Chain A
Amino acid sequence: MGEQLYLSVTRSYLGDDHKKIYRLAQLSELYHIPLVATNDVHYHHPERRQLQDILTCVREKCTIYNAGFRLHQNAERHLKTPEEMHRLFRQYPEAISNARRIADACQFTLESLKYVYPEELTTEGRTPQEELTYLSWEGAKERFGDDIPEKISSAITYELTFIEEMNYAAYFLTVHDIVRFARSQHILCQGRGSAANSTVCYVLGITSVNPTKIDLLFERFISSARNEPPDIDVDFEHERREEVMQYIFNKYGRDRAAIVATVTQQHQKGAIRDVGKAMGLSVDTINRMSTSIWRYTDEWFDEGRLLEHGLNPEDPHLKKVLALTKQMMGFPRQLGQHTGGFVITQGKLHELCPILNARMENRTCIEWNKDDIDTLGFMKIDVLALGMLTCIRKAFDLVKQYYGKDYTLANIPEDDPAVYEMISHADTIGVFQIESRAQQSMLPRLRPKEFYDLVIEVAIVRPGPIQGDMVHPYLRRRNGQEKPDYPPQLEDILKKTLGVPLFQEQAMNIAIKAAGFTPTEADELRRSMATFRLNGVIEKFEKKLIDGMTANGYELDFAQRIFKQLKGFGSYGFPESHAASFALLVYVSSYLKCYYPDVFAGALLNSMPMGFYQPAQIVSDARAHHVEVRPVDINHSFWDNTLEEKDTIPHALRLGFRQVKGLNQEEMAVLLSARKKGITSILALREAGVSQTALEKLADADAFRSIGLDRRRALWEISSLHDRPIGLFTGQASESTVEQAVRLPEMSAPEHVVQDYNAMALSLKAHPVSFVREKLSLLHVTAVKDLATIPDGMPVKVSGLVLVRQRPGTASGVCFITIEDETGCANLVVFNQLFEKYRKEILQARLLMVEGKMQREGEVVHVVVRQCYNLNRLLQQMTVVEETTVKQAEIKAGTEELKLPGARNFR
């Protein structure tokens, strides 16, 4: 290896450093391998030694008490000053100068990594730019006919010139190619994010918001000043995204395409477990500490909480654990794969960055994450998964099959008043985006009437506009309680949102038009608000914006208000283009829900898991819309949920086997093929090859009703199949056949419901709360549907199953809870102090009862909570009554506890 090999020496402070280094120096001389001094740095500051010891313990799976020699013996592995290193190696000056020599020889820096986009996607010998130009105009003709509007053609020309200047053509072609592939496979896809600001993206079919309908700001998408590659994100059907990903891997090869990494960070929960274990805390203590944390936040333990859990906040050991946990939070823990960001290169990717196997089969990723590749100017394509696209495609298929209409994202009838009427009543369970609690409470106030209202609706219920105090002014103006207020010069920009800037593009446009920013500066302004909240850049822009606006004759007050609003949305505000892309899906899904509730519910269930609600709510919502929902049955169900035609519309929805826990698709395929002539006996199914376990699952789901068996009877019969004669002995009598007929006790309704929930997480027979209604009435609990009769401000008690808990980071600790009883859903608001007080009840109760005050504002109804009670025990007692009768029976029916699907937490 000649001149390139050096021998590294480090001082270890174990007492024999002099001897060791002397020996190494001798060896170095003997073999002509020069010495080089290093300090084997493991932390930047001696204080981190403790944390380093903890890391060692975690790695070696031991505690600080028994780690012994596995720890570093001293705190010397920190970065030392050059002077100190010179002093330490003063006897070996060449070891120091060799470090210098190596550093001087290594002139390679990451700056010199050249990233080249794949260029092969051209036809007929065109260059990428020529190809893009060709495809853009072809696409424009397809979208607009031969008569391309002036606005469009000039936008295309402008963008193409820009793309050429920045040399991005190959990137656009790559995205176009992927989208074209998806289309050819009938996979729904749609570009999201700022890409919808590009007319070229629209004519290439990457995005779907018509640029004649909204104002585009190309600079929001790419700008020359940012010197940062464009970022096109495309959503695909979540169930079929893998096909798209494999297409990319196959087309470019694994040495040219890989997924961007995500660096998984150590979160509080994991950190406290690791540190606690290494510091020798008991498993019990660790569990108590880590489980008491609200799931999605990194909020820190306060003294009160520690006391509540029986821990001593003054304990120095515990304090040390918490301090180290805090240091460890945010440490990278492993490399995972990004949700779908691809890096594709012209040359070999592994010469730019090491590639590694991802956990999922057939995927490989690079070692760098999104920020890293941004730093280096690599381009990435986001191949994202969107459940709603799957749902919409499945709904289109069903509509075609049962209603004979052939819909696409592009040909859904626009601006249908019935659809907007439905949306205005917040009848939006299952609909894209606007199904969340916050959205639902906004809808009746906003009352959307046209497509652009949906764009606003999507954007307004966001932390940004809420923080910037834009929601209320907008609503007041919309409802005519206040006049829109904007300077006439800014009418173009602000009129559409009644003078309240709601979108990032508006913020940028105001800066350009009113304060004389260049488009590029305006984009910097937006970014500074999003990312550098702390370091002075923002003040610089504040001055520039306000000075610029006052100089152009705007009032100081107005300028300041604008700035405050812009600051408010920062990173949270949606770009208008993104809101528009999403609004399109909102409209399409609303349309389907409005006109084809049967289809929509079926498609939603067939696309699970997705969205905000559980199957049980989707089913009860479908029933509320007059869809007859039929139970899972061996003779009628398929794997998916299906529609069954009847005399009237909507059709009936037949639940599919996929709703039953623990069944698998292959096994049900066996059942389906055996069913050609109809199934008349359980034995026939068993003979056809359906396993005992699958039959039991089907019995648990009560799927044998069509052959006259309820679940208990069916289970009884299935259990007798264990010793059925097979092979040679087929047809002979077995022990079970000579058994006496047994009369099984009838199951009670609550028992059936409990079993339904256990097997399918829903029941068509009754709502669990209906069985405890009597007891609730004794507690003076109002049924949800009767809330409508209670006037504003009155005290009220409601109770129901907890469906969703949502605690948005911006709503200053307010927790929104949705509960459901047999009559409907109610929305609860818990303010911060009360949340702290009732934390346990809120997090643990399945059946929650609250006392509170009615609050109504138009159609929006809330219960403002004052007290919470956990009524889980009522659910547990539901089936107890029947126990005595069951005991006498021969079968032990077991009083199963109601297993509800866990409530979902959102932020």
Chain B
Amino acid sequence: MQYVELQVTSNFSFLRGASHPDEMVDQAAAYGYKEIAITDRNTLAGIVRAHAAAKAKGIRIIPACRLDLQDGPSLLAYPTDQASYSRLSSLLTTGNLRAEKGDCHLYKKMCMPTQQV
């Protein structure tokens, strides 16, 4: 049973993560990970680079996101399939469009399973 790192903040969480997504992936591959999640804050901006880097190293990334809420503790969200990925992306879109550029406003209520956006 091998461990998978599921909480990784890259520098696409601006001014928080201190490594590029591809650096994360390359290091993970060097350590023998077969997969690694990328969980930036309220964004999926770094996942494609991570994906490309992972593909080059023959490992897999789990596209994911850390949802920083306005009214609750942060959630780590991992889409299991295409439909849930679409919901995640739509949720972030809603959060983005109701905030100023560079901000994403999410609330607990929006993330409840019954409130699928």
User: Which residues of A pack against B, CB within 8 Å?
Assistant: 1, 4, 8, 10, 36-45, 48-49, 51-52, 55-56, 58-59, 79-82, 85-86, 93, 96-97, 99-100, 102-103, 105-110, 112-113, 261, 263, 330-335, 348, 350-359, 364, 367-368, 371-373, 375-376
A406 to B63, CA, bound (A): 57
A330 to B22, CA, bound (A): 13
Neighbouring B residues of A356 by C-beta, 8 Å: 93, 96-97, 101, 104
Query: Within the complex, which residue of B3, B11, B80, B97 is in contact with A107, where a contact is CB–CB below 8 Å?
Result: B80
Residue B19 is within 8 A (CB to CB) of chain A in the complex: yes
Minimum CB–CB distance for B30 against chain A, Å = 9
Majority SS at the chain A contact face: mixed
Given A102-B6, A332-B14, A356-B101, A368:B80 Cβ within 8 A: no
A372, B49: Cβ atoms closer than 8 Å: yes
A350, B89: Cβ atoms closer than 8 Å: yes
Minimum CB–CB distance for A226 against chain B, Å = 16
Closest to A6 in B: B76
A82, B80: Cβ atoms closer than 8 Å: no
A44, B62: Cβ atoms closer than 8 Å: no
A44 to B46, CA, bound (A): 15
Neighbouring B residues of A52 by C-beta, 8 Å: 16-18
User: Which residues of B pack against A, CB within 8 Å?
Assistant: 1-9, 11-12, 14-20, 23-24, 26-28, 31-33, 35, 37, 43-49, 51-52, 60-64, 76, 78-82, 84-86, 89-90, 92-93, 96-97, 99-102, 104, 113
A877 to B90, CA, bound (A): 64
A86, B3: Cβ atoms closer than 8 Å: yes
Given A43-B19, A112-B82, A350-B90, A96:B11 Cβ within 8 A: no
Closest to B100 in A: A357
Neighbouring A residues of B96 by C-beta, 8 Å: 354-357
Q: Which 4 A-B pairs have the closest CB atoms?
A: A38-B7, A351-B86, A372-B48, A354-B92
B63, A110: Cβ atoms closer than 8 Å: yes
A367, B16: Cβ atoms closer than 8 Å: no
Name 8 interchain pairs, CB-CB below 8 A, sorted by A. A41-B9, A52-B16, A79-B5, A79-B28, A350-B89, A350-B93, A367-B45, A371-B49
B48, A48: Cβ atoms closer than 8 Å: no
A55, B24: Cβ atoms closer than 8 Å: no
A261 to B101, CA, bound (A): 12
Query: Within the complex, which residue of B3, B20, B47 is in contact with A96, where a contact is CB–CB below 8 Å?
Result: B3
Neighbouring B residues of A332 by C-beta, 8 Å: 11-12, 14, 45-46
B18, A103: Cβ atoms closer than 8 Å: no
Minimum CB–CB distance for B48 against chain A, Å = 4
Given A103-B35, A109-B51, A40:B9 Cβ within 8 A: yes
B15, A56: Cβ atoms closer than 8 Å: yes
A272 to B86, CA, bound (A): 39
Neighbouring A residues of B61 by C-beta, 8 Å: 109
A4 to B111, CA, bound (A): 13
Closest to B52 in A: A375
B86, A85: Cβ atoms closer than 8 Å: no
Question: Which of B11, B96, B100 neighbours the largest number of chain A CB atoms within 10 Å of its CB?
Answer: B11
Minimum CB–CB distance for A365 against chain B, Å = 9
A8 to B5, CA, bound (A): 11
Minimum CB–CB distance for B112 against chain A, Å = 8
Neighbouring B residues of A59 by C-beta, 8 Å: 15-16
Given A48-B18, A332-B11, A372-B49, A38:B85 Cβ within 8 A: no
A108, B84: Cβ atoms closer than 8 Å: yes
Neighbouring A residues of B7 by C-beta, 8 Å: 8, 10, 38-41
Query: Within the complex, which residue of A36, A58, A354 is in contact with B44, where a contact is CB–CB below 8 Å?
Result: A354
Query: Within the complex, which residue of B4, B11, B31 is in contact with A331, where a contact is CB–CB below 8 Å?
Result: B11
Closest to A2 in B: B113
Minimum CB–CB distance for A174 against chain B, Å = 22
B45, A263: Cβ atoms closer than 8 Å: yes
Minimum CB–CB distance for B57 against chain A, Å = 13
A849 to B15, CA, bound (A): 46
Neighbouring B residues of A113 by C-beta, 8 Å: 82, 85
A110 to B61, CA, bound (A): 9
A350 to B94, CA, bound (A): 9
A81 to B1, CA, bound (A): 14
A42 to B35, CA, bound (A): 17
A110, B51: Cβ atoms closer than 8 Å: yes
Minimum CB–CB distance for A479 against chain B, Å = 48
B31, A353: Cβ atoms closer than 8 Å: no
Query: Within the complex, which residue of B18, B32, B45, B78 is in contact with A261, where a contact is CB–CB below 8 Å?
Result: B45
Closest to A93 in B: B1
B3, A106: Cβ atoms closer than 8 Å: no
Question: Which of B12, B76, B89, B102 neighbours the largest number of chain A CB atoms within 10 Å of its CB?
Answer: B89
Minimum CB–CB distance for A531 against chain B, Å = 13
Given contact pairs A48-B19, A354-B96, A355-B97, a sample of 12 additional A-B residue pairs in the complex whose CB atoms are under 8 Å apart: A41-B5, A52-B16, A79-B24, A82-B31, A106-B80, A109-B60, A351-B86, A354-B93, A357-B96, A357-B101, A367-B44, A372-B49
A168 to B7, CA, bound (A): 39
Query: Within the complex, which residue of B31, B37, B46, B93 is in contact with A81, where a contact is CB–CB below 8 Å?
Result: B31
Minimum CB–CB distance for B34 against chain A, Å = 9
Given A55-B15, A99-B3, A368-B48, A108:B27 Cβ within 8 A: no
A96 to B8, CA, bound (A): 16
A368 to B50, CA, bound (A): 12
Closest to A54 in B: B18
A368 to B89, CA, bound (A): 12
Neighbouring A residues of B97 by C-beta, 8 Å: 355-357, 364
Query: Within the complex, which residue of A38, A112, A331 is in contact with B5, where a contact is CB–CB below 8 Å?
Result: A38
Given A43-B17, A108-B84, A108-B85, A82:B44 Cβ within 8 A: no
A82, B82: Cβ atoms closer than 8 Å: no
B89, A103: Cβ atoms closer than 8 Å: no
Neighbouring B residues of A261 by C-beta, 8 Å: 45
Given A43-B19, A52-B18, A108:B44 Cβ within 8 A: no
Minimum CB–CB distance for A51 against chain B, Å = 5
Minimum CB–CB distance for A42 against chain B, Å = 5
